[in-house]
Amino acid sequence: MKKNEKANPKEESAEPTACGAQGGNECQTGPPRFSTQPDTNIKNTIAVMSGKGGVGKSAVTMLLAVALRRRGFEVGILDADITGPSIPRGLGVNGRIFVGEAGPLPAVSSTGIKVMSMNLILDREDDVVIWRGPLISSAVGQFYQELWWGELDYLLIDLPPGTADVPLTVMQSIPLDGIILVTSPQELAGMVVAKAMNMAARLDAPTIGLIENMAYVICPSCGEKVEPFGPSHGEEAARKMRIAFLGSLPLDRSISELVDGGKLEEYESSEVEAVIGEVIKRVADVKGIKEVSS
Ligand SMILES: Nc1ncnc2c1ncn2[C@@H]1O[C@H](COP(=O)(O)OP(=O)(O)OP(=O)(O)O)[C@@H](O)[C@H]1O
Ligand SMILES: [Mg+2]
């Protein structure tokens, strides 16, 4: 097993493969297991997922990365949304991927967050990728396996919406430490977030917890907390799904403005700080360790 390869619970209990070999993709009956470059060491790999689109997964992924970076952690984001990448824009990362001696290197944001995204390969930000599922999934595999990520405390994987090819590939082939589910209050009325959670459970991917995004607005004139989609159901939904509730984030115009302007690293909020504190604790709980080293 390579240095950064983590045991997969399914792998341990797997039936012997047809060829009888232990490990090695060529003899496995199941999906391939991805491993990173030998001199890359990722301590915590977390995928950010939602049942449906537009709930703020990418914004939340970036906010979590920014908050972790502020606490001094080495952080990377793998933008697994190949056809709708949005991470480079939000963090103001542009330019192309540099190929060093060790291989291709992720781009780096102004505060030091490492980023890999399809948009860093395309000639123009608005070039379109028209690929079928298997090709898209293989691009995600290459981003994970072939990049020289180096030493990372956290790699956050921003998934495309839903439960299709890419989430499936990421859950089956990347050794995940956990999944964070993002939802918005109106989505909670349905069962969509539960579908995402059920997928994670079926594939033995541990769930870190649920973040409710765009839960409320603070009135800019009177400071009153307004709940435009009605009262929050985040905690209740998490309880029903028997997963941890990591907290609520407000609908805040400055988030979308900073994303559009490539300056999300400037956003500061006590709510994000509270959520990230919970995330760090829960990741450690899920991994069964007391504290995650920085
Ligand atoms: N809490 C928030 N307050 C204000 N705007 C937000 C917030 N969260 C996300 N947004 C904005 O909402 C839009 C959708 O967010 P985002 O792209 O992160 O969603 P997504 O779930 O990643 O979408 P997709 O499913 O298409 O990947 C973006 O313009 C983003 O800047
Ligand atoms: Mg997104």
| Cα 1 to ligand 1 centroid, rounded to whole Å | 38
Q: Domain boundaries in the chain?
A: 37-287
Predicted pLDDT of residue 95: 74
214: CA distance to ligand 1 center in Å? Answer: 9
CA–centroid distance for 196 within its chain = 14
Whether 259 lines ligand 1, by a CB cut-off of 6 Å, is yes
**Residue 112 CB contacts under 8 Å (≥ 6 apart), including other chains:** 69, 74, 75
pTM: 0.89
If you measure from the C-alpha of residue 32 to the centroid of ligand 1, how many angstroms do you get, rounded to a whole number? 32
What residue owns the CA closest to ligand 1's atom 2?
251
Choose the residue to mutate in 136, 217, 259 for probing ligand 1, maximizing ligand atoms within 8 Å of C-beta: 259
* φ/ψ of residue 138, rounded to 5: -70, -30
Residue pair 37/103 in contact by the 8 Å Cβ criterion: yes
**Ligand 1 proximity of 78 Cβ (cutoff 6 Å):** no
> Does the beta carbon of 256 sit less than 6 angstroms from any atom of ligand 1?
yes
CB atoms within 10 A of CB 61: 27
What is the atom index within ligand 1 of the atom nearest the CA of 53?
Answer: 25
181 lines ligand 1 (CB under 6 A): no
Q: Which conformational region is residue 262 in: left (phi greater than 0), alpha (psi within -120 to 50 degrees), or beta?
A: left
3-state secondary structure of 119: helix
Query: Which whole-number Å values give the CA distances from 183 to 105, 124, 151, 255, 283, in the listed order?
Result: 32, 31, 30, 16, 19
Indicate which residue's Cα is closest to atom 5 of ligand 1.
256
- Around ion ligand 2, residues with a beta carbon closer than 5 Å are 57-58
Gap from CA of 137 to ligand 2 centroid (Å) = 16
What are the beta bridge partners of residue 44?
A: 154
Per-residue pLDDT in tens (0 to 9) along the chain, 294 residues: 444 444 443 443 333 444 444 444 455 567 889 999 998 999 999 999 998 889 999 999 999 999 999 999 999 999 999 988 999 999 999 877 888 887 899 999 999 999 999 999 887 878 888 878 788 889 999 999 999 999 999 999 999 998 889 999 999 999 999 999 999 987 665 568 888 989 999 998 999 999 999 999 999 899 899 998 888 888 988 998 899 999 999 999 999 999 999 999 999 999 999 999 999 999 998 887 544 444
Pairing relation of β-strands 41-49 and 178-183? Answer: parallel
Superfamily of the domain at 37-287:
P-loop containing nucleotide triphosphate hydrolases (3.40.50.300)
How far is the centre of ligand 1, averaged over its atoms, from the C-alpha of 12 (Å)? 38
For 36-56, give the secondary structure using H, E and C.
CCCCCEEEEEEEEECCCCCCC
